Amino acid sequence: MKKLINLSLLAGITILISCKMPQPKVTLIKTVTFNDFPSGSALEFHNNKLYLAGDDATQFLILDTNYNRLDSITLDSARTPRVPKDIKLDFEASTIINNKGKEQLLLLGSASTTVREKLFVVDLGDEAAHQLQVYSTSELKKQLEKNSIKEVNFEGAAYVHGTLIISNRANKSQPNNHLIFTDLSLIDNFDNIHFRIAKLNLEVDGKVVGVSGLTYEPKNDRLYFCVSTEETSSAYDDGEIGESYIGYINNISEKTTGKEISPDLFFSLDNVNPVFKNQKIESICIESIKGNIITLHLVADNDDGTSKLFKLTLEIEKDKD
């Protein structure tokens, strides 16, 4: 792998974002570009390691928290650096699950085309083996299309006390974002998949914004999400990149049966630092929580064959009663 290009080390730069909602103080710590790992789209933190997948990459990377490469796992046998768009598996969502006592990494294709209807499960218990199993999400897709989701485009996943939450991304022709609440029947029982669907209410000056990643913070029962804007009218085509955002939903465990959910925090990353301008943030994960300070990581895929990682902290104000 080529040497990483460290674009900036910006410790101590803190900006307070103005909005009606309770707002965090945001400190950008580090940003690094991988010129030889394409299209970073799914990012997870587990046991002091980061797991990074790209939507057209042939492997996913295992990194330390300073973005040094530790290992890699092959997901696609293609010999080209980037898998062609019409046959790529389009990995867009990931989460860590506990399945029958085993800690596993779940990696979801977007399901926006037939070839992308894939679910990979990687056993994290044996670091030497990294056993990998492949399943189909075609039945889930069929059922969702019968139940109000007209265009399936999985972009984020989070595991919350036995419930698997999957986000379905909006676009200009299908302007509503959705959260899908299901379980591990995707792995254990394909013929008996149970799910619920909730609309995620997001509005930004009349723009269509699409949820691009999820992560769960159990201490405060918060579902964090990232959002990006892109001028596209389908789940397949790319478009001009706009702003990206971060938000969270409090007490998500109590909201799995609602028909609509609104965020308790939502802010633009462009207002944090100019480095986020024209960055299509695709995934979010949490490294640590110390008091009210959250350390997290983001990854951007700007459709140019590279991946850009960001490490930052959020200092969260206590919600007022």
Give the model confidence (pLDDT) of 158-190 as tens digits: 999 999 999 999 988 888 999 999 998 877 766
Q: State residue 3's pLDDT score.
A: 37
Percent of the chain with pLDDT over 70: 86
Average pLDDT over residues 21-50: 91
Mean pLDDT of the chain: 85
Q: State residue 242's pLDDT score.
A: 78
Give the other-Cβ count within 10 Å of 289's Cβ: 16
- pLDDT tens string 244-271: 999 999 999 999 998 999 999 999 998 8
pTM of the model: 0.89
The larger pLDDT score, comparing residue 5 to residue 131, is at: 131
- pLDDT tens string 66-118: 999 999 988 877 778 789 888 998 999 999 998 888 899 999 999 999 999 99
Domains of the chain: 38-275 (2.120.10.100)
Q: What's the maximum distance between 2 C-alpha atoms anywhere in the chain?
A: 56
DSSP string, 253-285: GG-TT-SEE--SEEEEGGGT-GGGTT--EEEEE
| Residue type at 178 in one-letter notation | H
Place of tokens 């104000």: 317
**Best CA proximity match to 138, nearest among 107, 121, 171, 115:** 115
pLDDT grade for 7, boundaries at 50, 70 and 90: very low
pLDDT grade for 17, boundaries at 50, 70 and 90: very low
Rounded Cα distance, 15 and 25, in Å: 6
